[in-house]
Amino acid sequence: MIGRIASGKLTVTDPNPKDARRPIVLGAERRTVSRNQKTTTYRGKDIRVRITGGLAHVRFEGRGIHLSAVGRGRGLLDGVGDVSTNVFFDGVWSLNDEEYHSLPDALTDFDLVGPPAERD
């Protein structure tokens, strides 16, 4: 998974922070580590993240979020577009090469699965 936030907050929970598969986060202005050393919160502008080969729980909050992920797992999306917030367009998303569509206004889950194996 690679991602970027123009401005906002990134929260990364690494269930096994002592292994060699640590998330790489660059550009954060502030970093706060939890007491159990598993959850780190990054805040600022132009935050970039890369996670390869390991398990992590990642939460993006902010503006200008760009994210790409390949692999297996579960995800949750929740946009902020709503009449009550006067936000009518908060971004788009696409899954498995589908057409892009507006972010959901309510918490929506999805499954991320690897591509099918090619047959000869």
Encode pLDDT of 45-102 as tens digits: 999 999 887 788 888 888 888 888 877 788 888 877 665 666 556 678 888 778 888 8
pLDDT value at residue 66: 87
Per 3-state DSSP, the chain is made up of helix, strand and coil in percentages (nearest 5) of: 0, 50, 50
| Pair 60, 5: CB distance under 8 Å | yes
Residue numbers of the domain that contains 37:
1-69
Are residue 58 and residue 12 in the same domain, yes or no?
yes
pLDDT bin (cut points 50, 70, 90) of residue 116 is low
pLDDT value at residue 1: 86
Nearest alpha-carbon partner for 2 in 103, 62, 61, 71: 71
pLDDT bin (cut points 50, 70, 90) of residue 39 is very high
Residues 4-27, mean pLDDT to the nearest whole number: 88
Nearest alpha-carbon partner for 28 in 60, 58, 5: 5
pLDDT value at residue 32: 92
pLDDT value at residue 81: 62
Place of tokens 């929740």: 78
Are residue 84 and residue 52 in the same domain, yes or no?
no
Number of domains the chain is built from: 2
| Pair 85, 35: CB distance under 8 Å | no
Q: How far apart are CA 88 and CA 48, in angstroms?
A: 26
Q: Give a yes or no: residue 6 inside a domain.
A: yes
Are residue 25 and residue 83 in the same domain, yes or no?
no
pLDDT value at residue 8: 93
Q: Of 53, 69, 85, which closes a domain? A: 69
Are residue 54 and residue 102 in the same domain, yes or no?
no
pLDDT value at residue 40: 93
| Pair 92, 100: CB distance under 8 Å | yes
